[in-house]
Structure 1
Amino acid sequence: MTCEIDDAGTAARILVVDDSRVMRAAFAKILGGEFDLANAADGEQGWEALAGDPDIRVVITDADMPRLDGYGLIARIRGSADPRLRALPVIMVTGADDAATRERALAAGTTDFVTKPLDPLQLRARIRTHARLDRTQRELAATAEALEAQSAVDPITGLSNRRHLLEHGAQELSFARRHYRPLALIVFAVDGFRALRERHGAAASRALLEWTAGILRGRMRTEDTVARIAEDEFAVLAPATNRLQAAVLCKRLQIAFRDPPFRGPEGPMPVTVSLALVNPGREHTESFELHLEWACRQVAAARAAGGDRLLLGDRPAPAPALTPVPTSTPAPIPTPIPTQTPTPLALTPPPPTLDAALDLLAHGQGARLDPHLPTLLARLLPLLEYADRHMGPGPALGGILPALRARLDGRGIHGDRLD
């Protein structure tokens, strides 16, 4: 039996993630003579092994495991900031007729399947194929990285690439913090991209990427930065855009991908996207790259949950530093000076603007909005009613909005109606 050899002249390293000792022993018996095996008893151990071992070429994972299951492990791998991990072949072990597991695993980003009971010849053939594929992808990635270092443009779509987004994003984030301006980062993945490529080949998947780029070009402003950041992932960096405006943009993107549909090799086919929206706040001190990584993780979570959804994924703001209380002798209390009876002060400040309210929410200060919620909702209600009538297909708000208006009317607060 010949060994599958990597570039360093050693057997290709394979990670087996399974909570069953019997299954790990079965994989060792079948693959041990040809590959260098590493083992993990659950998804958390598997993730730790991947983070610490760059030589792993293929991952084999079970679906159901304690702590972190196979779907969660795949979601972490596909949402990683490390391009090597995002492209790593992942094979899931399933039952012979377990269609539900296969569909869920495909949505999460698995590469292939093997079925129980294990077929030694089929298993070795699949592992050899994916180990060679990983080696080829690494070689291509190294070449692409060298070329990308000299360019800021993605060669397939003509959009900005990840490197340019990181550089420009750091500048935009610094400007937004310095001038107290909102900033929105939208990251999305094209659902079903890998399945399309597996079924119809590279030409069809390239056509889908180019079609996606066309949608983005037609709907973004001149000041927005639009980039392809991974195989099937894109990002939009929108300066001077608050959370409500960015959420409306996400809704428009979802509609644009549905109508008109993408024309694939077999005719029109529905395309959906999984999105994450991040508004880096002024109180966040993290770099733009960390915000981008966090958004990618949220996109992976959206895909793992079935896709075609938007997650609002701001990183938690760091806890404010506590000001130490002096323990020395307190200053003497001044003697009160008799004055005239003061004019009573208003206990409730005037309501903030909608932009200011969204900014307070983004920074975890929602409690400051409690006294003003009826007034703010009355301001926002006409916009919601208008959007419900004019934004096209999607979940209806008709049953919610009349009840909300009646509740506000009961408090004596009335919002204008937009017709």
Structure 2
Amino acid sequence: MAELPRVLIVDDSKVVRASLAQHIKTQYEVREEADGDAAWQTLVLDQSIRAVVSDLQMPKMNGYELLERLRTSRLRRLQQMPFILVSGEETEEERGKARGLGASDFITKGSGAIEVLTRLGNLLALQQAQENLDSGREQMVQNPATGLFTRKYLELQAAQALSHSARHGIDVSLMVLGFDGYEVLTHKLGPALAEEVGNRFAKMLGSKMRQEDSLGHIADGRFAVVSPGTAANYCVSFAERVRQAVEASRLSVQGQSLGLTVSIGLASVPTDLVSSAGALLELAEQRMLQAMQAGGNRTEAGGSLPATRPISLQHALELLRANRPGPVMAHLDALLGQLTPLLALMEKEMGLDLPIEQIECYLSERAKAKK
């Protein structure tokens, strides 16, 4: 059964929240908050909320302030979110102020279920119509902001690759890359700067691809690569190189040094049993989301290959130069094992008094403990 649209009810009165929830719970999933400040935090983090029903008079942040936060937000979904104010004894001047701030509609306290459902239904229908108009841009071959292929065109490229694969028995791989915490990044920097970060990433990614690969911009902060003739294990190797390059990089944005990570999902044919290009893309997206939900900064390949692997000495040094020791900590044993032959050579040729035997003993004991 399809999930119900989620509506946030904001009121400092538990009785009012319960009454409103009772009116709409047959057609909507309800989330509640008791003040505007808590509601704002919820709206930033919970991307599933489709509309807000809010009182005007509340502690910490009133309805006017919450509405103004939404309409001046850097997140487009909050700017356009339907916002219904629950009006009690407010004057016409106060209601005019709310309209000026961008209130979508008003209901009076004590309104019946039919009125509340009608107002919500009308606003969400208008929002859906606008989203359908916006989605028409996906029919274009190139994304106007990045110049990369659109999602629709990328699916066509994947469909051609699958057709070729069926005739000649070759592999096709598709990976979806998404910035971890992109909505928070957009809220912090603003859409324009967040988009610039994405464009820099796309240029880096494009420089590492083969000519026969297709790179697309499929959603905010998300990119996809179709790789004809590439088996799953080779695609994972490429994905890991990209992930590590992003992890080690530091971008300068408005004078600030910015550390980013990406989560990557991969799907391949014939390894994965999918019947269409759309299904291949959706499977890669699902795996990317799984990687994000597992903590981010990782590659999920559906179990065909390990999602994580030991980092190289070069990558470890890049992370340390970027003042990011955290990702290196889990790999210290493996890195020490790689360094031991070099340290032994230094001891022999340079006459250094290095504890080689102690290091080898330590590594041996650690290896036994892990068995």
**So what's the TM-score if we normalise by structure 2?**
0.57
Aligned partners of 1:15 and 1:39 also within 8 Å: no
Distance 1:147 1:96 in 2: 35
Query: Does the alignment pair 1:133 with 2:81?
Result: yes
Match for residue 39 of structure 1? 25
Once superposed, what is the RMSD of the aligned Cα atoms? 4.4
Structure-to-structure mapping, 1:9-408, within 5 angstroms: 15-16=6-7, 26-29=16-19, 38-39=24-25, 61=31, 119=58, 122=62, 126=66, 130=78, 132-133=80-81, 138=128, 141-149=131-139, 151-281=140-270, 284-313=273-302, 388-392=312-316, 393=319, 399=333
1:96–1:137 Cα change, 3 Å: closer
1:188–1:94 Cα change, 3 Å: farther
Q: Secondary structure at the match of 2:312?
A: helix
Distance 1:31 1:17 in 2: 9
Cα displacement string for residues 208-246 of structure 1 (whole angstroms, at most 9, x for unaligned residues) = 121121111111111111111111211111122222221
Distance 1:251 1:200 in 2: 27
Distance 1:242 1:107 in 2: 37
Aligned partners of 1:107 and 1:304 also within 8 Å: no
1:247–1:285 Cα change, 3 Å: closer
TM-aligned CA deviation for residue 30 of structure 1: 5.5
1:201–1:400 Cα change, 3 Å: closer
Percent sequence identity is 22
Distance 2:282 2:215 in 1: 16
1:301–1:123 Cα change, 3 Å: farther
Cα displacement string for residues 37-89 of structure 1 (whole angstroms, at most 9, x for unaligned residues) = 6427xxxxxxxx78xxxxxxxx7547xxxxxxxxxxxxxxxxxxxxxxxxxxx
TM-aligned CA deviation for residue 185 of structure 1: 1.1
TM-aligned CA deviation for residue 123 of structure 1: 6.2
Counterpart amino acid of 2:17? F
TM-aligned CA deviation for residue 178 of structure 1: 2.5
Match for residue 95 of structure 2? none
Distance 1:297 1:38 in 2: 31
TM-aligned CA deviation for residue 158 of structure 1: 1.0
Distance 2:257 2:173 in 1: 32
Distance 2:279 2:256 in 1: 40
Number of equivalenced pairs: 263
Counterpart amino acid of 1:232? G
Q: Secondary structure at the match of 1:160?
A: coil
1:61–1:247 Cα change, 3 Å: farther
Counterpart amino acid of 1:146? G
5+ unaligned residues in a row in structure 2: which ranges?
72-77, 83-123, 320-326, 339-371
**So what's the TM-score if we normalise by structure 1?**
0.51
Aligned partners of 2:171 and 2:270 also within 8 Å: yes
TM-aligned CA deviation for residue 307 of structure 1: 1.6
1:31–1:247 Cα change, 3 Å: same
1:288–1:309 Cα change, 3 Å: same
Q: Secondary structure at the match of 2:230?
A: coil
Distance 1:139 1:188 in 2: 29
Distance 2:35 2:242 in 1: 37
Counterpart amino acid of 1:388? S
Counterpart amino acid of 1:172? A
Distance 2:291 2:211 in 1: 29
1:97–1:16 Cα change, 3 Å: closer
